[in-house]
Structure 1
Protein backbone atom coordinates (compact mmCIF):
# COMPACT_ATOMS: atom_id res chain seq x y z
CA UNK A 1 0.00 0.00 0.00
CA UNK A 2 1.58 3.25 -1.15
CA UNK A 3 1.57 5.86 1.63
CA UNK A 4 3.55 8.76 0.23
CA UNK A 5 5.69 9.79 -2.73
CA UNK A 6 8.25 12.59 -2.46
CA UNK A 7 9.30 14.59 -5.51
CA UNK A 8 12.55 16.37 -6.24
CA UNK A 9 12.91 19.77 -7.92
CA UNK A 10 12.63 18.05 -11.32
CA UNK A 11 9.25 16.60 -10.27
CA UNK A 12 10.64 13.05 -10.22
CA UNK A 13 9.80 10.64 -7.39
CA UNK A 14 12.95 10.14 -5.34
CA UNK A 15 11.38 8.44 -2.31
CA UNK A 16 8.29 6.29 -2.04
CA UNK A 17 7.05 5.11 1.36
CA UNK A 18 4.90 1.97 1.39
CA UNK A 19 3.33 -0.32 3.93
CA UNK A 20 3.57 -4.02 3.14
CA UNK A 21 0.50 -5.54 4.84
CA UNK A 22 1.54 -9.15 4.19
CA UNK A 23 4.84 -8.67 6.04
CA UNK A 24 3.62 -5.84 8.27
CA UNK A 25 6.61 -3.61 7.60
CA UNK A 26 7.32 -0.24 6.08
CA UNK A 27 9.41 0.08 2.96
CA UNK A 28 11.20 3.16 1.68
CA UNK A 29 12.25 3.04 -1.99
CA UNK A 30 14.82 5.63 -3.07
CA UNK A 31 15.84 6.49 -6.64
CA UNK A 32 18.21 8.78 -8.51
CA UNK A 33 20.52 11.31 -6.94
CA UNK A 34 19.17 12.46 -3.56
CA UNK A 35 20.66 15.62 -2.02
CA UNK A 36 20.94 15.75 1.77
CA UNK A 37 17.85 17.93 2.32
CA UNK A 38 15.70 15.60 0.19
CA UNK A 39 17.10 12.62 2.09
CA UNK A 40 16.11 14.25 5.37
CA UNK A 41 12.60 14.92 4.01
CA UNK A 42 12.30 11.25 3.06
CA UNK A 43 13.53 10.09 6.45
CA UNK A 44 11.03 12.41 8.15
CA UNK A 45 8.24 11.04 5.92
CA UNK A 46 9.16 7.56 7.14
CA UNK A 47 8.81 8.73 10.76
CA UNK A 48 5.36 10.11 9.98
CA UNK A 49 4.36 6.82 8.36
CA UNK A 50 5.69 4.88 11.34
CA UNK A 51 3.35 6.81 13.61
CA UNK A 52 0.33 5.67 11.56
CA UNK A 53 1.59 2.20 10.62
CA UNK A 54 3.65 0.94 13.57
CA UNK A 55 6.18 -1.72 12.67
CA UNK A 56 9.48 -2.85 14.16
CA UNK A 57 10.86 -3.43 10.64
CA UNK A 58 11.98 -1.16 7.81
CA UNK A 59 13.08 -2.26 4.37
CA UNK A 60 15.17 0.68 3.14
CA UNK A 61 15.79 0.07 -0.56
CA UNK A 62 18.54 2.27 -1.97
CA UNK A 63 19.34 -0.07 -4.86
CA UNK A 64 18.17 2.52 -7.42
CA UNK A 65 20.29 5.40 -6.08
CA UNK A 66 22.83 6.95 -8.39
CA UNK A 67 24.89 8.65 -5.69
CA UNK A 68 25.84 8.30 -2.02
CA UNK A 69 23.00 7.08 0.16
CA UNK A 70 23.26 9.87 2.74
CA UNK A 71 25.93 12.39 3.52
CA UNK A 72 24.98 13.07 7.12
CA UNK A 73 25.04 10.03 9.33
CA UNK A 74 25.31 12.45 12.27
CA UNK A 75 21.79 13.76 11.51
CA UNK A 76 20.49 10.19 11.21
CA UNK A 77 22.24 9.14 14.40
CA UNK A 78 21.30 12.06 16.64
CA UNK A 79 17.99 13.32 15.26
CA UNK A 80 16.25 10.62 13.25
CA UNK A 81 17.25 7.35 14.96
CA UNK A 82 16.11 8.22 18.51
CA UNK A 83 12.63 9.13 17.22
CA UNK A 84 12.45 6.01 15.04
CA UNK A 85 13.46 3.80 17.97
CA UNK A 86 10.99 5.55 20.26
CA UNK A 87 8.24 4.75 17.74
CA UNK A 88 9.18 1.07 17.76
CA UNK A 89 11.76 0.55 15.01
CA UNK A 90 13.96 -2.45 15.87
CA UNK A 91 15.31 -3.79 12.54
CA UNK A 92 16.48 -2.09 9.35
CA UNK A 93 17.39 -4.00 6.20
CA UNK A 94 19.31 -1.49 4.10
CA UNK A 95 19.73 -2.43 0.43
CA UNK A 96 22.53 -0.62 -1.37
CA UNK A 97 23.67 -0.68 -4.99
CA UNK A 98 26.55 -3.17 -5.35
CA UNK A 99 29.03 -0.38 -6.17
CA UNK A 100 28.27 1.31 -2.82
CA UNK A 101 28.30 -1.85 -0.70
CA UNK A 102 31.80 -1.36 0.73
CA UNK A 103 31.31 2.28 1.75
CA UNK A 104 27.85 1.60 3.19
CA UNK A 105 29.17 -1.40 5.12
CA UNK A 106 31.97 0.79 6.53
CA UNK A 107 29.38 3.24 7.88
CA UNK A 108 27.32 0.40 9.37
CA UNK A 109 30.42 -1.18 10.95
CA UNK A 110 30.87 1.96 13.04
CA UNK A 111 27.42 1.20 14.52
CA UNK A 112 26.16 4.79 14.34
CA UNK A 113 22.80 3.77 15.79
CA UNK A 114 24.25 1.92 18.76
CA UNK A 115 21.64 -0.19 20.47
CA UNK A 116 18.68 1.81 19.13
CA UNK A 117 17.97 -0.76 16.41
CA UNK A 118 19.75 -3.43 14.37
CA UNK A 119 21.00 -2.43 10.91
CA UNK A 120 21.97 -5.00 8.30
CA UNK A 121 23.42 -4.07 4.90
CA UNK A 122 22.56 -5.99 1.71
CA UNK A 123 23.17 -5.65 -2.00
CA UNK A 124 20.38 -8.12 -2.80
CA UNK A 125 16.73 -7.23 -2.18
CA UNK A 126 15.63 -10.85 -1.82
CA UNK A 127 18.18 -11.52 0.92
CA UNK A 128 17.18 -8.31 2.70
CA UNK A 129 13.53 -9.39 2.66
CA UNK A 130 14.43 -12.85 3.98
CA UNK A 131 16.42 -11.39 6.86
CA UNK A 132 13.72 -8.86 7.71
CA UNK A 133 11.03 -11.56 7.55
CA UNK A 134 13.00 -13.68 10.05
CA UNK A 135 13.31 -10.68 12.41
CA UNK A 136 9.61 -9.94 12.04
CA UNK A 137 8.67 -13.52 12.88
CA UNK A 138 10.90 -13.41 15.96
CA UNK A 139 8.96 -10.32 17.14
CA UNK A 140 5.63 -12.18 17.06
Structure 2
Protein backbone atom coordinates (compact mmCIF):
# COMPACT_ATOMS: atom_id res chain seq x y z
CA UNK A 1 0.00 0.00 0.00
CA UNK A 2 1.08 3.52 -0.69
CA UNK A 3 1.24 6.35 1.80
CA UNK A 4 -1.59 6.43 4.31
CA UNK A 5 -3.67 9.51 5.08
CA UNK A 6 -4.62 9.75 8.76
CA UNK A 7 -7.20 12.07 10.30
CA UNK A 8 -7.41 12.69 14.05
CA UNK A 9 -9.90 14.28 16.40
CA UNK A 10 -8.96 17.31 18.51
CA UNK A 11 -7.49 15.18 21.31
CA UNK A 12 -5.44 13.02 18.95
CA UNK A 13 -7.66 9.98 18.49
CA UNK A 14 -7.49 8.60 14.95
CA UNK A 15 -10.97 8.43 13.41
CA UNK A 16 -10.09 7.77 9.75
CA UNK A 17 -7.31 6.39 7.60
CA UNK A 18 -7.18 6.02 3.83
CA UNK A 19 -4.66 4.61 1.40
CA UNK A 20 -4.38 3.60 -2.21
CA UNK A 21 -3.39 -0.01 -2.86
CA UNK A 22 -0.48 -0.88 -5.12
CA UNK A 23 -1.33 -0.29 -8.74
CA UNK A 24 -4.41 1.74 -7.75
CA UNK A 25 -6.42 -1.50 -7.47
CA UNK A 26 -8.73 0.16 -4.93
CA UNK A 27 -8.90 2.84 -2.26
CA UNK A 28 -8.98 1.52 1.29
CA UNK A 29 -10.70 3.62 3.95
CA UNK A 30 -11.02 2.69 7.62
CA UNK A 31 -13.20 4.49 10.14
CA UNK A 32 -12.71 4.23 13.92
CA UNK A 33 -14.80 5.00 16.99
CA UNK A 34 -17.71 7.41 17.32
CA UNK A 35 -18.33 9.52 14.22
CA UNK A 36 -19.91 12.98 13.98
CA UNK A 37 -21.11 15.05 11.05
CA UNK A 38 -17.72 16.78 11.09
CA UNK A 39 -15.65 13.58 11.07
CA UNK A 40 -17.79 11.94 8.38
CA UNK A 41 -17.44 15.01 6.18
CA UNK A 42 -13.70 15.36 6.84
CA UNK A 43 -13.07 11.72 5.91
CA UNK A 44 -15.44 11.94 2.96
CA UNK A 45 -13.68 15.02 1.62
CA UNK A 46 -10.31 13.27 2.04
CA UNK A 47 -11.60 10.43 -0.16
CA UNK A 48 -12.84 12.97 -2.71
CA UNK A 49 -9.40 14.61 -2.74
CA UNK A 50 -7.77 11.22 -3.34
CA UNK A 51 -10.21 10.49 -6.19
CA UNK A 52 -9.63 13.86 -7.81
CA UNK A 53 -5.87 13.37 -7.50
CA UNK A 54 -6.03 9.94 -9.16
CA UNK A 55 -9.36 8.37 -10.07
CA UNK A 56 -10.08 4.82 -8.88
CA UNK A 57 -13.27 2.86 -9.63
CA UNK A 58 -13.20 0.79 -6.40
CA UNK A 59 -13.47 1.68 -2.71
CA UNK A 60 -13.24 -0.62 0.29
CA UNK A 61 -14.94 1.36 3.07
CA UNK A 62 -14.35 -0.43 6.36
CA UNK A 63 -16.65 0.56 9.20
CA UNK A 64 -15.69 -2.45 11.31
CA UNK A 65 -14.36 -0.28 14.16
CA UNK A 66 -17.19 2.31 14.14
CA UNK A 67 -19.20 2.73 17.33
CA UNK A 68 -22.77 3.98 17.20
CA UNK A 69 -24.80 5.68 14.52
CA UNK A 70 -23.67 8.47 12.20
CA UNK A 71 -27.10 9.03 10.66
CA UNK A 72 -26.80 12.81 11.16
CA UNK A 73 -24.44 12.80 8.16
CA UNK A 74 -26.57 10.60 5.88
CA UNK A 75 -28.13 13.45 3.91
CA UNK A 76 -24.69 14.91 3.13
CA UNK A 77 -23.35 11.49 2.11
CA UNK A 78 -26.34 10.91 -0.17
CA UNK A 79 -26.69 14.34 -1.77
CA UNK A 80 -23.10 15.58 -1.94
CA UNK A 81 -20.52 12.84 -1.35
CA UNK A 82 -21.98 9.99 -3.44
CA UNK A 83 -22.64 12.07 -6.60
CA UNK A 84 -19.19 13.68 -6.42
CA UNK A 85 -17.47 10.30 -5.91
CA UNK A 86 -19.41 8.94 -8.91
CA UNK A 87 -18.37 11.94 -11.02
CA UNK A 88 -14.75 11.36 -9.96
CA UNK A 89 -14.90 7.76 -11.21
CA UNK A 90 -16.07 5.52 -8.34
CA UNK A 91 -18.16 2.58 -9.56
CA UNK A 92 -17.82 -0.17 -6.92
CA UNK A 93 -18.26 0.26 -3.17
CA UNK A 94 -17.48 -2.55 -0.74
CA UNK A 95 -18.89 -1.69 2.70
CA UNK A 96 -17.56 -3.63 5.69
CA UNK A 97 -20.19 -3.41 8.41
CA UNK A 98 -19.39 -3.01 12.11
CA UNK A 99 -20.57 -5.16 14.96
CA UNK A 100 -22.58 -2.17 16.26
CA UNK A 101 -26.21 -2.59 15.17
CA UNK A 102 -26.68 1.20 15.10
CA UNK A 103 -23.78 1.79 12.75
CA UNK A 104 -24.91 -1.13 10.58
CA UNK A 105 -28.42 0.33 10.32
CA UNK A 106 -26.95 3.66 9.25
CA UNK A 107 -24.92 1.97 6.51
CA UNK A 108 -27.99 0.02 5.34
CA UNK A 109 -29.99 3.26 5.15
CA UNK A 110 -27.24 4.93 3.14
CA UNK A 111 -27.06 1.97 0.74
CA UNK A 112 -30.82 2.16 0.13
CA UNK A 113 -30.38 5.80 -0.89
CA UNK A 114 -27.24 5.49 -3.07
CA UNK A 115 -27.40 1.99 -4.54
CA UNK A 116 -28.37 3.52 -7.88
CA UNK A 117 -25.07 5.45 -7.81
CA UNK A 118 -22.64 2.54 -7.34
CA UNK A 119 -22.61 -1.23 -7.29
CA UNK A 120 -22.52 -1.84 -3.54
CA UNK A 121 -21.92 -5.01 -1.54
CA UNK A 122 -21.68 -5.42 2.22
CA UNK A 123 -19.24 -7.69 4.02
CA UNK A 124 -18.37 -8.64 7.58
CA UNK A 125 -14.62 -8.86 6.95
CA UNK A 126 -12.18 -6.62 5.06
CA UNK A 127 -10.59 -9.65 3.36
CA UNK A 128 -13.91 -10.67 1.76
CA UNK A 129 -14.54 -7.11 0.57
CA UNK A 130 -11.02 -6.97 -0.90
CA UNK A 131 -11.52 -10.32 -2.68
CA UNK A 132 -14.74 -9.04 -4.29
CA UNK A 133 -13.11 -5.80 -5.47
CA UNK A 134 -10.12 -7.63 -6.91
CA UNK A 135 -12.41 -10.14 -8.67
CA UNK A 136 -13.92 -7.29 -10.69
CA UNK A 137 -10.76 -7.06 -12.79
Range class of TM-score, shorter chain? 0.7 to 0.9
Matches within 5 A, 1:77-116: 77-100=78-101, 103-104=105-106, 106-107=108-109, 110=112, 112-116=113-117
Q: Which runs of 5+ in 2 are unaligned?
A: none
- With the length of structure 1 as denominator, give the TM-score of the two structures: 0.85
Q: Report if aligned partners of 1:62, 1:69 keep a CA contact under 8 Å in 2.
A: no
Partner SS state of residue 17, structure 2: strand
CA distance in 2, matches of 1:106, 1:85: 19
Partner SS state of residue 5, structure 1: strand
Going from structure 1 to structure 2, the CA distance change for 1:15 and 1:70 (only over 3 Å counts) comes to farther
Matches within 5 A, 1:24-103: 24-100=25-101, 103=105
- Supply the RMSD in Å over aligned alpha carbons: 2.0
Q: Which runs of 5+ in 1 are unaligned?
A: none
Going from structure 1 to structure 2, the CA distance change for 1:114 and 1:30 (only over 3 Å counts) comes to closer
1:70-128: per-residue Cα shift (whole Å, max 9, x none)? 43222111111111000100001011113337525641562x11422112111121211
- With the length of structure 2 as denominator, give the TM-score of the two structures: 0.87
Q: Report if aligned partners of 2:97, 2:107 keep a CA contact under 8 Å in 1.
A: no
Q: Report if aligned partners of 1:50, 1:87 keep a CA contact under 8 Å in 2.
A: yes
